[in-house]
Structure 1
Amino acid sequence: MRRKEPLYRSVNTRTHGVRHPSGEYRWSRRRDDHTGQGAMHGKTRRGRDYTPLFRFLLSHVGDDWDAVHAEAVSRLDSPEPIFWIVALTESERKPIVLTGESTFFSGLYVDDANRLALVDPDLRIERLKPGCACCTHTFNGKPFVLKYQDDPV
């Protein structure tokens, strides 16, 4: 039996010019007390692109949540990214979820029948407007239709 592909991609983080958001230790340390600082390495995991996971979840809208969740977890390194776009409670539901600087996906939730569903099924890419002219904004993997228009003051 052939093993299925993982639902994430490794991103090159060692190339010249790749920057990661972080502050230097000297900007955050307390000058009068250096005890209790703990380890100096962070817990941020870099180098993963979960776009295949988000597309997988969108393709299984309407399917049984337990089966979808079990398959997704078996193909991931950590189950945490699933819940970046899937809301388990009503208070967590969002129609649009920002997963990158200009990458948006439809929000998902688990309905009463234990099925994966869209938070806003009427949401269309034709109605979304980009926030700036410098980035390529995408919604569910497709570029925005409308172009950026600077509002005159």
Structure 2
Amino acid sequence: MRSHQLHKSFKLYRSVNTTTRHHSNNPGAEYRWERNRKKVGDELLAKRETMHGRQKRGRDYTPLFYFLVKQIGKPWDKIFSEVCGRLDTTVPVFWLVALHEHERRDLVCIGESSYYPGLYVDGRGILQQVNSSITGKDVKVTCRCCTHTYIGELVPWMD
């Protein structure tokens, strides 16, 4: 198998152990309570539904974000078709990539302290960075207890 073919087979996300100490599980609403709030006409449906919620927890999409940043200047259709085959859902793609002008942001924060440049698809269908002059120096470090990063690089605390 050629190296570029091997590269395309890797997933662009990884599973995270959400049962470890000090890890927020992003609990959200309890699906078991929502399940029994169905209307009377939906009784049969409510009985057949499972107790499993609709959120997928324990996913780290950092490989996806690195991949997208490396694809700046390339055709969006090719990028998106490759991404679709390597993800469990395409929703995280649009955390970074704005499809509409009003959604564009210079800097995107994923999680509490991981920053990436905002991306968009231009009129020619090419993936572009919203503001190419953005660097790690533009990240505002809000507290000393967190490790802030810009595309994986440590952002130092400025006094």
Q: How many Å apart are 1:16 and its aligned residue?
A: 4.6
Cα separation, 2, equivalents of 1:12 and 1:133: 25
Q: Where does residue 60 of structure 2 map in the other structure?
A: 49
Cα separation, 2, equivalents of 1:62 and 1:23: 38
* 1:79 matches 2:84: no
Number of paired residues?
141
* 1:139 matches 2:150: yes
| Greater fraction of residues in helix | 2
Contact 1:133 1:148 (C-alpha < 8 Å) held by counterparts: no
Deviation sequence 1:34-86 (CA, Å, 0-9, x none): 74386765322101100000000000000000000011111111111111100
- Partner of residue 10 from structure 1, selected from 5, 8, 15: 15
Unaligned regions of 5+ residues in structure 2, if any? 40-45
Amino acid at match of 1:84: W
Unaligned regions of 5+ residues in structure 1, if any? none
Q: Are residues 16 and 123 of structure 1, via their aligned partners in 2, closer, same or farther at CA, if it must alter by over 3 Å?
A: closer
The percentage of counterpart residues that share the same residue type is 42
Amino acid at match of 2:57: R
RMSD: 2.2
Residue aligned with 1:104, SS: strand
Amino acid at match of 1:10: S
